[in-house]
Amino acid sequence: MSDKTALVTGATGLLGRQVVRAFEREKWNVKGTGYSRADGSSILKVDLVNADQVEATLDNVKPQVVVHCAANRFPDKCDKDPEGTRALNVEATRRLASSCASRGILLIYISTDYVFPGRPGEAPYEADAKPEPTNLYGQTKLDGERVVQEEYLGAGKAGLGIVLRVPVLYGDAEVPSESAVNVLMDTVWKAQEPGVKIKMDHWALRYPTNTEDVGRVCHDIAVKYLGSDNPSKLPSILQFSSESKYTKYEICQFFGDIMGLSIAAIEPNTEGNDPNASVQRPYDCHLSTKALQDIGIDVAAQDFTGWWRWNLRAFRK
């Protein structure tokens, strides 16, 4: 058996499953935590809001690295449950960071491009650019970043509390609604129904990034930081993103094209944010990957169109 152990929170989710696989591929022992979908063996049932359960899990599993994927990550759902969102995205993160820091465990906290305001002309954002979230989801993830850094600094373990920001994710989904990208395939199918009219955002620029790539990057970060004599000399905020740029409407166009389906019923909406909407979305939060490149981590990302053609077996010319 390997002597290297990783613990992945949110291991039953869209990203968590691929992070687990990435470490397993490299022959690590991997345990995951889940809640509603935990099986009790490879996926331990842990309520991350319960400090005692978290401490017991860390002492039982004894990981060298924890990858913290669990979050309330849908902006509209965050707005409907601000207290629950803060409890998971901030308070549970603080307790997890405190428990990991006191044990000298490397923590990789998954954050988001939505920590940035995404105003036209500002992107790409470097890892040290000033965050300024435009919605509650982005704010709670930024607060989570800060509590991770505070806890590790306070424990004298700066260099072991790492933030990894990623953009909108896609990949193998159990249900399309797990991903803001995959779910657009449902939209394209819905647009085939008679009399349907759908408005789709054709304003905000997104950089859909594959969960398998993020999993690999998490593994490579763990190896780099655990292998360093002085991880505090390495950057504590990292960013990973693909360079594929699409609006949601353009993704629908692409799906329609490879599936041979008309998207005539989907109307492009170029108006940007409705000033009355509770969730204000950024225009362009493209993340620079320079900090990762500077420490020698491969930032290659899968081609969006190629992955989907392969995934849907849609090799139409």
In tens, the pLDDT along 149-169 reads 999 999 999 999 999 999 999
Percent of the chain with pLDDT over 70: 98
108 forms bridges with which residues in the sheet? 67, 162
* CATH fold of 176-204+244-285+302-311: UDP-galactose 4-epimerase; domain 1 (3.90.25)
Residues of the chain with CATH 3.90.25: 176-204+244-285+302-311
Counting Cβ atoms within 10 Å, is residue 85 exposed (0-12), middle (13-18) or buried (19+)? buried
In tens, the pLDDT along 242-267 reads 999 999 999 999 999 999 999 999 99
276-308: b (≥16 Cβ within 10 Å) or e: eeebbbbbbbbbbbebbeeeebebebbebeebb
Q: How far is CA 65 from CA 51, 82, 142, 240, 279, in A?
A: 18, 29, 21, 19, 34
In tens, the pLDDT along 187-197 reads 999 999 999 99
Say what the pTM is: 0.95
Least confident of 122-131, 132-141, 232-241, 270-279: 270-279
**Is the predicted pLDDT of residue 317 greater than 50, yes or no?**
no
pLDDT of residue 278: 76
Reported as type and span, the H/E element at residue 30 is: strand 29-34
Task: Give the confidence band of 2 by pLDDT, cuts at 50, 70, 90.
Answer: low
- Pairing mode, if any, of strands 209-210 and 169-170? parallel
In tens, the pLDDT along 28-73 reads 999 999 987 777 777 999 999 999 999 999 999 999 999 999 998 8
In tens, the pLDDT along 90-117 reads 999 999 999 999 999 999 999 999 999 9
Chain position carrying tokens 């992107």: 123
Q: Which residues are catalytic?
A: 137
DSSP state of 273: -
Residues of the chain with CATH 3.40.50.720: 5-170+209-242+288-294
**Is the predicted pLDDT of residue 23 greater than 90, yes or no?**
yes
pLDDT of residue 200: 95
Q: Which CATH superfamily is domain 5-170+209-242+288-294 in?
A: NAD(P)-binding Rossmann-like Domain (3.40.50.720)
Residue 295's Cβ-side half-sphere holds a number of Cα atoms within 13 Å equal to 22
